[in-house]
Structure 1
């Protein structure tokens, strides 16, 4: 009979398995911590900008504005100044940090930037929905008067930057202040009513609306316009259309003040001033063909420059990025400068430098 040999092993006790598992768990936890720290460090680094920000309180013309003056990181002023004029909505001084990559690009070229909270935003007094475009121009003119007294600002070299709705404000500012040296108009419209219709139809088309849905939306719009034209109250509007669909009483009041806005009468105030018109290829808010035609007609000559960004949306963000909420969030956190269309940040700074050099 063959002899069998029993092989004996020391059994693995639960305590020994736990002792081996603990280092593995610690290693995994340490890896996660290091990855999180690395990502956190990347986010902090990418959202740190090469500039100096100074919180300012602008008191001028009986109004108080809470703002930010962004200065070059190195050197001593006075610096040329870019005054930021917001588009629509409750925008704070940094536009939820959206402006900072632009401020940095300007700062690296030796320019300061000035922006402020809209009335009612971030604790600022007032309500931006109570403003007309003329009110907004008066506000900006007061801010410029204040800036000319600031020791870090070269009062003889001040220009404007404005997006979207600010297109109706920039020429009004220039009419009030002949010392404006340049203007950058980003995605501006020409006529409030035509812009609204274009935007409505573009969004309906984008969303795949049926012919019936388009007809209903246009009919509803016409009802609203008729009521605006005769100065109807918000209550009349609600009775006429039923569900207000986001049109609040304050927004109706704002539309009542501004629905007749048209840049045609004001834009000639910028004739002879260097103007950079910035247009986006994926703009569903503004008819860029109408805008470009109007600017070329009303601002003839070499002072007008037109820059097209075919891959950008209305806010000059890269369209491929902004159409994905996940990609938009990750880019905003990890590479905020890459949010914008390629070349946009550098092109603006280059335009301001050349405009000021040409006029010096």
Structure 2
């Protein structure tokens, strides 16, 4: 065998071994201590596909359950795999997880519609799944779910919702929108003139929303976002008055874990925390705020770099999150009264 041929074979073998090693790392890092079952759940007039994830190595159950409530946008049951580290953390505490695809017509929903959908999911799990402990069902919800979670607590059938984990949630839709706009302008280095102009445009849009203007009227207005679709305008028109104050005040003594990122540009975590402390029953609220974390509760430096985000999601998905986030939720669940 010639030296050249030996060199080619060695390079080829090294490449194969490296590829096999990387594949092994990816498979190992994306394997979770949960059993996933595809389910279909009747909810708010839809039959929604979803995933029921149960703990591995903890017996047949029945397991307490975390029902997930998505934030804004089109989201499948796994959130493209983003939820699996959460499910594993819940499973380590002995909890199952239930997450559904959003319906195709989610832009036609109100926050009340989303609450009905979640209540139906809870009822389905309690009535039809023997591996679920119907007396220990709670909620996990992100961002826009902040206007859904307290409605579900009020409406869920007996024995009711037993806990809530709220992730990056707001209280008032319109105040949240102003905070988001100002935060994005600051991040972009906008001067006072540009900021004032953006706020004037926002007030003009709010005036249209408050008088029930059509999409055509919005499109004809100065400063209209040309990328905003008619469906999205309809969704905003239906929900821009959302405010969780009354629903939070009416919540019973349910333990709540409030999580937020210090770098959140979408939601003012300090305002939400202050409102929750005022509105919820004394002794029910636990708060965790993570430095270097975004609205999505991802590490900010990773989320804002497309290549780092991709590589981390593939090779080390659990490290997408700030230190302590998964463990804090596991501990919260473990310490709930049984």
With normalisation by structure 2, the TM-score equals: 0.95
Q: Counterparts of 1:44-59 in structure 2 under 5 Å?
A: 44-59=27-42
1:1-360 superposed matches below 5 A = 19-60=2-43, 62-74=45-57, 75-120=59-104, 127-149=105-127, 150-177=129-156, 179-241=160-222, 244-355=225-336, 358=337, 360=338
Residues of 2 paired with 1:269 and 1:94: CA distance? Answer: 31
Q: Deviations over 1:196-222 (max 9, x none)?
A: 010011011112223333233222211
CA spacing shift, 1:61–1:130, aligned 2, 3 Å = closer
| Larger radius of gyration between Structure 1 and Structure 2 | 1
Identify which range, 319-328 or 296-305, moves more after superposition.
319-328
| 8 Å contact from structure 1 (residues 172, 269) kept in 2 | no
Offset of residue 31 of structure 1: 1.2
**In the comparison of the two structures, how many residue pairs are matched?**
334
Q: CA deviation at 1:37?
A: 1.6
* Counterpart contact for 2:43–2:118, Cα < 8 Å: no
**Structure 2 unaligned blocks of 5 or more:** none
Which has the higher mean CA deviation after the structures are superposed, 238-247 or 32-41?
A: 238-247
Poorly superposed stretches of 4+, deviation over 6 Å:
none
Structure 1, unmatched stretches of 5+, are: 1-15, 121-126
Q: 3-state SS of the aligned residue for 1:295?
A: helix
**Separation (CA, whole Å) in 2 of partners of 1:72 and 1:80:** 10
- What TM-score results when the alignment is normalised by the length of structure 1? 0.90
Answer yes or no: is the 8 Å Cα contact 1:58–1:146 preserved in 2: yes
Whole-angstrom distance in 1 between the partners of 2:222 and 2:19: 51
Q: CA RMSD in A?
A: 1.4
- Kept after mapping to 2: 8 A contact 1:147/1:155: yes
**Separation in 2 of the partners of 1:226 and 1:243?**
13
Query: Conserved in 2, the CA contact under 8 Å of 1:283 and 1:314?
Result: yes
